[in-house]
Amino acid sequence: MGMTDNLLSTGQWFVTLFLFLLVLLQAARSVRWRTLRSDNVLQHSFFGAAVALGFIWQLRAGIYPGLAIHIFGITAVTLVLGWGLAVFAGLLALVLTVITGREPVIMFAANGLITVMIPALVTHGIMLWERHRNFSNFFAYIFFCGFFGAGISVAAAGLVMCLMLWFSGVYEFSELVHDYLRYLPLFMIPEGFVNGAIVTGMMVFHPDRLTTLDPRRYR
């Protein structure tokens, strides 16, 4: 869903930049930097996630500017690293897409907000809801946080992107519905499957890598 052109008005660009910096500040505050510096396993997960996302985001499809389709993968990264580190891993991956010419520098804040921050925050919110419900079966974590969380996060990001393009006057709302929004449920399925499969595999083989998982809650 990357914006490969400058599709926003000046006012929207500044608002997007402000929101981007605000979320970035909160993400920085939530990260335990001392733990990251001392934990080699966490470092490997962090940089590995950034490289993997940078590669995945090179693969995309789309006909119209700003309406590209690709796998996000942020949900799985958020469940592995926590939402704060997931934001920084996603932004590092976004830097790679800028270096390779897939994204323009001027749209870094907008793409970071849509592709990284919104999915990470939505996934974090669903994870907190799952904890609050205190499910005793670990399948609840896999289904709600992994499969369901990924689908909802990509839907939220897609809706925000469409609203931004609509308010900027690039597309009429009817065009967005016809060319993108009506296909959004179809985009949610592969996103949910890929992220859910990754989370399931991590839970089976490396549950210690899922920093958001508390195995003591499940039986």
- Domain harbouring 59, CATH code: 1.10.1760.20
In this structure, the chain runs to a length of: 219
How far apart, in whole angstroms, are the C-alpha atoms of residue 35 and residue 49? 17
| R_g of the chain, CA atoms, integer Å | 17
Q: Could you give the 3-state DSSP secondary structure of residue 172?
A: coil
In a domain, residue 1? The reply is no
Query: What whole-number distance in Å separates Cα of residue 157 and Cα of residue 115?
Result: 7
List the domain range (segments joined by +) for residue 26: 10-217
Does any domain span residue 2?
no
* Other residues' Cβ atoms within 10 Å of the Cβ of residue 101: 8
What pLDDT shows up at residue 213?
86
Give the alpha-carbon dihedral of 5, 158, 53, 211, to 10 degrees.
140
Q: Residue 87: which H helix or E strand, with range?
A: helix 83-99
CA contacts within 13 A on the Cβ side of 113? 20
Q: Is residue 118 part of a domain?
A: yes
Structure token pair of residue 92: 């590092």
Q: What is the pLDDT of residue 134?
A: 84
In a domain, 188, yes or no: yes
Average pLDDT of each block of 10 consecutive residues along the chain (219 residues)?
A: 68 91 95 90 93 87 67 93 95 92 86 94 94 85 91 92 84 82 86 92 87 79
Instruction: Please report, for residues 14, 42, 82, 137, 142, the alpha-carbon distance to residue 188 in angstroms, rounded to integers and kept in the order given.
Output: 30, 28, 22, 24, 16
Classify residue 42: in a domain, yes or no. Answer: yes
- Domain assignment present for residue 5? The answer is no
Can you state the percent helix, strand and coil of the chain, rounding each to 5? Answer: 75, 0, 25
Domain count of the chain? 1
Both structure tokens of 24: 């970035």
Q: Is residue 22 part of a domain?
A: yes
Q: 114 lies in a domain?
A: yes
